[in-house]
Chains A and B, each alone.
Chain A
């Protein structure tokens, strides 16, 4: 076999021949390449033996209980996911309301020193910015990241 192109063609045709995926024309081409080349014939024989061995390999079946419980487990997870979503929405509403009330009471409290008020307001404001930033990254940026499937 002379060129890399021929070599690659032979490899592709050999895979097709092993898996019974060649058309009549491709089969003819493959047999033509094989004919008279002892090295290729020997290589093909080795791959045939390998294919025979891998074709008899099987994964061990899990116990039947696994299949019986499978759908119910998926269903429970779907339901739980909906529960978490509803809970999260409720928690966000409560936290927002609580934060608003906290800021309101801090501003209206005449007993608190102005520096403490500023400190509390900045902490609450910073926390809100961090929360929105993380939420935006999780919900939007990651979803639109064109490189998220790239293996790093």
Chain B
């Protein structure tokens, strides 16, 4: 019986967990095997969710839109060009959906400053020096609030660089922009963040 983890190829049951590479999974998807897509979704779901969260600032929207982007990517997978990276291609779809969501709905279900509350609390519990940590927490809360006010494309580049630790080359590939533009966009974003917290914290 087929499950979401297995599928049949030429009379043989194949477990999607045995797929070894993106290319192999994509090839099987292009042959119409929906279950092989599980390999790609499992591999990139967290990166996809956090990328969407970075742009949207809402857990529910990030979950919904990252999943929707996977569905749309599957529908378009026959047009996927060999030699490209799956996540780079997927990210273009995700990014467009996120920007459309912001444009159409003009809403943030949840404030950015609430997203990090768990980490802030954890720090406070583990801390020896309460005053230093209180200051750090204040700074982080101020930064979250400042992040919320950035333009989506500036917030996106901060999330990709500082939260996901991608290299300039990877960011340039994902956003389909030159490395110089990555650097200038990062500068603009950081300049905006600095301007908002400089007087009190820097």
Interface residue count on the B side (C-beta < 8 Å): 52
Q: Does A15 contact B (CB under 8 A)?
A: yes
Q: From residue B164, how far is it (CB to closest CB) to chain A in Å?
A: 10
Mask: chain A, 88-99; 1 = CB below 8 Å from B; 0 = not: 000000000000
A71 touches B193 (CB 8 A): no
B162 touches A57 (CB 8 A): yes
Which of B18-26, B37-45, B80-88, B124-132 lies on the face that meets chain A?
A: B37-45
13 A-B residue pairs with CB within 8 Å? A15-B187, A16-B183, A21-B167, A47-B190, A50-B194, A54-B162, A57-B140, A60-B117, A61-B118, A67-B46, A71-B45, A74-B71, A151-B103
Chain A residue contacts of B197, Cβ below 8 A:
50
C-alpha gap A66/B53 in the complex (Å): 14
Q: Tell me whether A60 and B119 are in contact in the complex, defined as CB-CB below 8 angstroms, given that A15-B183, A78-B74 are known contacts.
A: yes
Q: Tell me whether A59 and B163 are in contact in the complex, defined as CB-CB below 8 angstroms, given that A11-B187, A12-B187, A54-B143 are known contacts.
A: yes
By a beta-carbon cutoff of 8 Å, the part of chain B in contact with chain A is: 4, 34-35, 37-38, 41-42, 45-46, 49-50, 53-54, 59, 63, 67-68, 70-71, 74-75, 96, 99, 103, 115-119, 136, 139-140, 143-144, 158, 161-163, 167-168, 180, 183-184, 186-187, 190, 193-194, 197-198, 201-202
Contact partner of A67 (CB less than 8 A), chosen from B45, B53, B167, is B45
A53 touches B74 (CB 8 A): no
C-alpha gap A19/B166 in the complex (Å): 10
Q: Does A79 contact B (CB under 8 A)?
A: yes
Closest partner residue, chain A, to B38 (CB atom): A71
B115 touches A78 (CB 8 A): no
Q: From residue A40, how far is it (CB to closest CB) to chain B in Å?
A: 14
Chain A residue contacts of B184, Cβ below 8 A:
8, 11-12
Contact partner of A62 (CB less than 8 A), chosen from B4, B49, B103, B180, is B49
Q: Does A136 contact B (CB under 8 A)?
A: no
Closest partner residue, chain B, to A81 (CB atom): B71
Q: Tell me whether A58 and B116 are in contact in the complex, defined as CB-CB below 8 angstroms, given that A11-B187, A19-B161 are known contacts.
A: yes
Q: Tell me whether A77 and B183 are in contact in the complex, defined as CB-CB below 8 angstroms, given that A51-B162, A72-B4 are known contacts.
A: no
C-alpha gap A57/B197 in the complex (Å): 15
Contact partner of B202 (CB less than 8 A), chosen from A12, A46, A56, A58, is A46
Q: Tell me whether A77 and B99 are in contact in the complex, defined as CB-CB below 8 angstroms, given that A47-B190, A57-B143, A62-B59 are known contacts.
A: no
C-alpha gap A21/B34 in the complex (Å): 40
Chain B residue contacts of A75, Cβ below 8 A:
4, 34-35, 37-38
Closest partner residue, chain A, to B194 (CB atom): A50
Q: Does A49 contact B (CB under 8 A)?
A: yes
